[in-house]
Structure 1
Amino acid sequence: MTEIRGWAAHGAGKPLEFTCIDVGALGPEEVEIKVEYCGLCHSDLSTKNNDWGMSQYPVILGHEAVGTVTAVGEHTKGVKVGQRVGVGWNASSCMHCHQCMTGQHNLCAEALPTIIGHQGGFSDKIRAHWAWAIPLPDSLDISAAGPLLCGGVTVFEPLAVMNVRPTDRVGVVGIGGLGHMALKFARAWGCEVTAFTSTEAKADEARGFGAHHVVATRDADALKRAVGSLDFILVTVNVPLDWAALTACLRPNGNLHVVGAILEPMSISAIDLIFGQKRVSGSPNGSPPAMAAMLDFAARHQILPQVEHFPMSRVNDALEHLEAGKARYRVVLDPDFA
């Protein structure tokens, strides 16, 4: 019997409880990792509460885990015991479909989320397929690197796959856990960056994260001044917005790209898209190659999230802190098992 000790949800909306779960023998292509830090993401909260209707209980949450490889299966490749790696939103994929074979593993129909049908990183150890255990650059601070593996790649990937150019003017909507990292990445990408925020008190912080300009979304005049000014707008929030006002801020051929898990339908005028030849798109997290590229880029530019640390034994306090909107801007849990 192989047990993982961690903090598990046993039902929708219930506090996490310390739990031991038998996960069986290590698979031939799996690696086992001693968790040293694990980021807390809003997706953990959504999974805890079954907001998406696909949670499976009991589940140890946490999908931004970093640590040291302690065991490898007999058919593992490219990862060795003692290496520092990270695991993000997915723990495995089929490795033989078209998406996997073309480097888009995150779009695999059989991709296994780390915290849905699998045990996550609010634990003493975590397992993943070797391809999804991403080596960490030595120059990145491991104590803050965890959130890059989900939130970081989620906002980095659109810059690459949507062909955002360094000469583009990029807007980032929402200066939170995702948005503050998006500002850092877009600035390092070479873009002129505009932050959209409903909280004017965040303006100075947004500039510190890389924004050249800040637009207060509750200021109608400020929104009017931004009309027709941006090539690419990245939406990082998970709440309904004034979609007409945002699409108006796009230049011709502009793209409104969504990475925030907004549950309500988006009401967007076809006419607004047609006459400006504008686009609306979305993307999930990222594949192993994308995650590795993001980590290399982050190491080159020393991009890390701004984090707060909680001991893992206070995970329920950390979840309340996140749900109350008090996190500035990502939370990382430090294992403190006896």
Structure 2
Amino acid sequence: MSKIKSYAAPQAGAELELYEYDAGDLKPEDVEIKVEYCGICHSDLSMIDNEWGFSQYPLVAGHEVIGRVHALGSSAQDKGLKVGQRVGIGWTANSCGHCDACISGNQVNCAEGSVPTIINRGGFADKIRANWQWAIPLPESIDAASAGPLLCGGITVFKPLLMHHVTATSRVGVIGIGGLGHIAIKLLRAMGCEVTAFSSNPSKEQEILGMGADRVVNSRDPEALKALAGQFDLIINTVNVSLDWMPYFQALAYGGNFHTVGAVMKPFEVPAFSLIAGDRSIAGSSTGSPHELRTLMKLAGRAKVAPQTEEFPMSRINEAIQHVRDGKARYRVVLKADF
């Protein structure tokens, strides 16, 4: 038997409790990782609360994991990973490996259904398991204590940059400077882009400029938004509330893209000619493939991109979760394993 110690929600919305489970034999393609750090994401809260309707209890959340390889399955021993190596695990723990999406390198869109890390039992634990492909090698230069949020929030905002072929000459806007948006600004600055932050909180302007934004625009000022017409190659939306989107569509340059990673529940209302005139488009995405995750971690290690985090010991996990629920996190919370 292989016992794993964790913190689990016994039912929807409940506080987490110590929970030990038998993980069974290590599957041939899997890797077991000893957890060092694990971030707390709003998706963890959604899973704990069963907001999406597919949570299974007791539920072990946590999908922004940094740790070291503890054991390798029999078929994972020749895949480039070594015991003791530091790796990261994000939202996805497994994918089929043989469908068209997987074969083309889009494993996150696995036609057989990729397996979320939380359903596989997540990183609010002393150890975690995942398919070897999803154990992302980390460069030695990366800051392990703050790197966890890059594996979910980071890849969520990095993927649009890859999809839309962003370069150092790109002019990019970011709507919402929270857990996702602040990482987007740091990545865009590392890539040399011209970065505009859209924020509804003027008091954060100097802090946002310190992150690397070239300018901060008050998203509640219609005239300020109107003055930006035709300027952006890409605008990334990170908020999940409905806004007046027309000023942002009008702010796109020809060939510009509006890309949402924020789960806005109300439909976007877009006049067709806002897209037709200027070859503009609207897109969305979730997280990334193993290759995209590896690319992100290499960039973060080389350019010293680190999320702004607050650290709690994992033994104070319920206090940390409440801190996130209360909207007090600046800007991501990371748990340090202390079993």
TM-score above 0.5, yes or no: yes
Contact 1:306 1:329 in 2 (8 A): yes
The aligned amino acid for 2:34 is: K
Structure 1 residues 73-88: aligned runs within 5 Å: 73-76=73-76, 77-88=79-90
The aligned amino acid for 1:113 is: P
Q: With structure 2 as the length reference, what TM-score do the two structures score?
A: 0.96
Q: With structure 1 as the length reference, what TM-score do the two structures score?
A: 0.96
Report the alpha carbon displacement of residue 276 of structure 1 after superposing the two structures with TM.
Answer: 3.2
Report whether the alignment pairs 1:136 with 2:138. yes
Q: Which residue of 2 aligns with 1:48?
A: 48
What is the percent sequence identity of the aligned residues? 54
Q: Could you tell which deviates more after superposition, 77-86 or 11-20? A: 11-20
Q: Could you tell which deviates more after superposition, 130-139 or 220-229? A: 220-229
Alpha-carbon distance in structure 1 between the residues aligned to 2:264 and 2:10: 25
Q: Which residue of 2 aligns with 1:163?
A: 165
Structure 1 residues 1-338: aligned runs within 5 Å: 1-76=1-76, 77-109=79-111, 110-115=113-118, 117-337=119-339
Report the alpha carbon displacement of residue 54 of structure 1 after superposing the two structures with TM.
Answer: 2.3
Contact 1:78 1:130 in 2 (8 A): no
Contact 1:59 1:118 in 2 (8 A): no
Report the alpha carbon displacement of residue 23 of structure 1 after superposing the two structures with TM.
Answer: 2.1
Q: Would you say how many aligned residue pairs link Structure 1 and Structure 2?
A: 336
Alpha-carbon distance in structure 2 between the residues aligned to 1:249 and 1:229: 6
Specify the SS of the correspondent of 2:233.
strand
Alpha-carbon distance in structure 1 between the residues aligned to 2:253 and 2:18: 51
State the Cα deviation string for residues 34-89 of structure 1 (Å, max 9, x = none). 00000111111111122222222221110001111111100002211111111000
State the Cα deviation string for residues 147-201 of structure 1 (Å, max 9, x = none). 1111111111111122123211100111111100100111121211000011111
Specify the SS of the correspondent of 2:277.
helix
Report the alpha carbon displacement of residue 33 of structure 1 after superposing the two structures with TM.
Answer: 0.5
State the Cα deviation string for residues 236-255 of structure 1 (Å, max 9, x = none). 12222221122121122210
Consecutive aligned runs of 4 or more in structure 1 exceeding 4 Å deviation: none
The aligned amino acid for 1:14 is: A
Give the aligned CA root-mean-square deviation in angstroms: 1.2
Specify the SS of the correspondent of 1:292.
helix
The aligned amino acid for 2:15 is: P
Contact 1:306 1:328 in 2 (8 A): yes
The aligned amino acid for 2:114 is: A
Alpha-carbon distance in structure 1 between the residues aligned to 2:140 and 2:293: 15
Alpha-carbon distance in structure 1 between the residues aligned to 2:252 and 2:234: 7
Gap regions ≥5 residues in structure 1 = none
